[in-house]
DNA sequence: GGGGAGAGATGCCGC
DNA sequence: GCGGCATTTCTCCCC
């Protein structure tokens, strides 16, 4: 049963609150939004973040960041949830017309996701298998953050020419090419050399990115990100092999 | 009560399913992931998307896109949810150790969010109030997608020099400057002119972006995105004015 | 805490 | 459908 006392008690206990309601939502903060009445699921997590989910779509339609403050008020026949985040000056008002359900759960979960197949994994793979780029490629560093900017990989090719590689785990688009260009220019000026090879390593490339690569005199290396998670058991792998 | 029949029936009715469980999650698709056991909220929406939320954090820790297929199997003392998306070759396995709750809801909501304060709104504002950029600025077009690429605004200044404006609703960063540079180059080559003014319009700018602007000979216009939603009543506005 | 860049990004709009 | 890009992006990493 939803009432102000239950709501505040659950918040105080750092429970996760799950409400299913018909509501109207207004937001003001980084932007402003209004959402007319409809059925939604509201989750207030133990870190005091709030999510509003419609029956469709994978992103929340409204939300508040962690460490927000939430209050429930009863107003004639309506409930009202007012959430505010002082730090970011954000305000959310949920006008509840009907409550379908309200539950609070004390949930424990400190686990983090192990993920394989990221851009970082791709750079790692190229670093340890430089022949994937070209014969005789000698990588000097990966994830160079300090001297030359945020460059995925750079090194020397068989002719001792400098090579800058930008990795994308899915598709190389115009933004990736301009990013590569920016890094090549940085290396040129900091190393004081005229010619630096730029290589975009990705499994797919968009048409306009392909044209941009040609315009810049850069190269495309068709490479797939590695997918291997140590803790995946053979049984689990077998699940999706048919 | 969770069982295979209830689960499948709820899916068939396009209900929204909400489960609170202790579980282990494995994913394989665009990448691979493993999440050891913990308490989570699982939502399967009426579009057959699936979300897994931990007690903290605003993003789902695992998910499946819309139009996936979901099956519940009972396996000794465990339940198993197997979700697959044939189109994207993605597979999710949720091994459920304990069920805290299971509910299905028939939810109706066809409303869409009205949003104000976006980059598009910013471009609109500058287009109708060109003096925000500089005296005598004459915008020619906004959101020009066809001839010169995706340029927010371009036009002529008081001296009849071409001007390209890139808007950012929050912060201007190096990526925004390279984007602006790309558009300026496009206009230069397509119009066959040597000098085109580039202006980055945003409320804040990062230090390195500021330096890049200077290097390119571009300008910074400090402009805030407009925040005004017609349907916001005065009462709602008053809520966050104290 | 701020800057910089990835994401299993998602969503939107235009062609 | 794909392409290009914004997002109340969010999250992570590193200084």
pLDDT one-digit tens code per residue, B178-199:
999 999 998 998 889 999 999 9
Interatomic CA distance for residues A1 and A7, integer angstroms: 9
Q: Using a CB-CB distance cutoff of 8 angstroms, which residues of chain B are in contact with residue A35?
A: 111-114
* Model confidence pLDDT, tens digit, residues A64-92: 999 999 999 998 889 999 999 999 999 99
Structure tokens at B11: 């899916």
CA–C1' B65–C10 (A): 10
Q: Using a CB-CB distance cutoff of 8 angstroms, which residues of chain B are in contact with residue A111?
A: 35-38, 54
Q: What percent of chain B has pLDDT over 70?
A: 92
In whole angstroms, what separates CA B82 from the centre of its chain?
A: 28
In whole angstroms, what separates CA B70 from the centre of its chain?
A: 26
Contact B94, B7 (CB under 8 A): no
Contact B16, B103 (CB under 8 A): no
In Å, how far is B67's CA from the nearest CA of chain A?
11
* Model confidence pLDDT, tens digit, residues A137-176: 999 887 766 566 689 998 999 999 999 999 999 999 999 9
Model confidence at B238: pLDDT above 80: no
Chain B residue with Cα closest to A116: B32
Stated length of chain A: 242
Q: According to the model, what pLDDT value does residue B36 have? A: 97
Among candidates B31, B57, B174 on the partner chain, residue whose Cβ is nearest the Cβ of A47? B57
CB neighbours of B217 closer than 8 A, spacing ≥ 6? B198
Q: Which helix (H) or strand (E) holds A207?
A: helix A207-216
CB contact (8 A) between residue B101 and residue A103? yes
Q: Phi/psi zone of residue B143: left (φ > 0), alpha (ψ -120 to 50 degrees), beta?
A: left
Average model confidence (pLDDT) for chain B? 91
Model confidence at A231: pLDDT above 60: no
Q: Terminal CA-to-CA distance of chain B, rounded, Å?
A: 47
CB contact (8 A) between residue A101 and residue B101? no
The Cβ-side half-sphere exposure at A174, using a 13 Å CA radius, reads 15
Q: According to the model, what pLDDT value does residue B227 have? A: 84
Interatomic CA distance for residues B121 and B141, integer angstroms: 14
Rounded to two decimals, the pTM is: 0.93
CA–C1' B141–C14 (A): 16
Neighbours of A188 (CB within 10 A): 15
Strand partners, A22: A39, A98
Question: Which class for A186: exposed (0-12), middle (13-18), buried (19 or more C-beta within 10 A)?
Answer: middle
- Whether nucleic acid strand D comes within 7 Å of the CB of A186, the answer is no
- Whether nucleic acid strand C comes within 7 Å of the CB of B222, the answer is no
- Whether nucleic acid strand C comes within 7 Å of the CB of A65, the answer is no
CA–C1' A77–C4 (A): 49
Phi, psi of A186, deg, nearest 5: -60, -50
Chain A residue with Cα closest to B61: A113
Among candidates A118, A178, A231 on the partner chain, residue whose Cβ is nearest the Cβ of B178? A178
Q: What DSSP designation does B218 have?
A: -
Strand partners, B85: B90
Among candidates B34, B107, B109 on the partner chain, residue whose Cβ is nearest the Cβ of A232? B34
The Cβ-side half-sphere exposure at A240, using a 13 Å CA radius, reads 20
Model confidence at B93: pLDDT above 60: yes
CB contact (8 A) between residue A38 and residue B91? no
- Whether nucleic acid strand C comes within 7 Å of the CB of A170, the answer is yes
In order, the DSSP letters of B34-61 are EEEEEEEEEEE-TTS-EEEE-SS-SS-S
């Amino acid at each position: 049963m939803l009432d102000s006392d239950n709501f505040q008690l659950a918040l105080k206990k750092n429970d996760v609150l799950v409400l299913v309601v018909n509501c109207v939502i207004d937001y003001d903060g980084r932007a402003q939004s209004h959402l007319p009445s409809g059925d939604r699921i509201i989750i207030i997590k133990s870190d005091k973040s709030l999510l509003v989910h419609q029956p469709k779509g994978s992103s929340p339609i409204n939300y508040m960041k962690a460490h927000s403050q939430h209050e429930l008020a009863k107003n004639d026949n309506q409930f009202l949830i007012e959430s505010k985040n002082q730090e970011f000056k954000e305000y959310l008002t949920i006008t509840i017309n009907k409550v379908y359900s309200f539950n609070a759960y004390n949930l424990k979960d400190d686990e983090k996701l192990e993920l394989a197949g990221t851009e970082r994994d791709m750079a790692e793979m190229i670093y340890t298998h430089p022949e994937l780029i070209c014969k005789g490629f000698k990588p000097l560093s990966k994830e160079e953050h300090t001297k030359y900017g945020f460059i995925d990989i750079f090194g020397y090719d068989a002719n001792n020419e400098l090579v800058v590689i930008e990795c994308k785990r899915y598709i190389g688009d115009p933004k990736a090419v301009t990013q590569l260009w920016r890094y090549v220019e940085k290396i040129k000026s900091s190393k004081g050399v005229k010619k630096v090879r730029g290589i975009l390593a990705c499994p797919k490339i968009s048409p306009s990115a392909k044209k941009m690569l040609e315009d810049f005199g850069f190269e495309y290396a068709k490479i797939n990100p590695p997918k291997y998670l140590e803790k995946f058991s053979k049984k689990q792998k077998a699940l999706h092999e048919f």
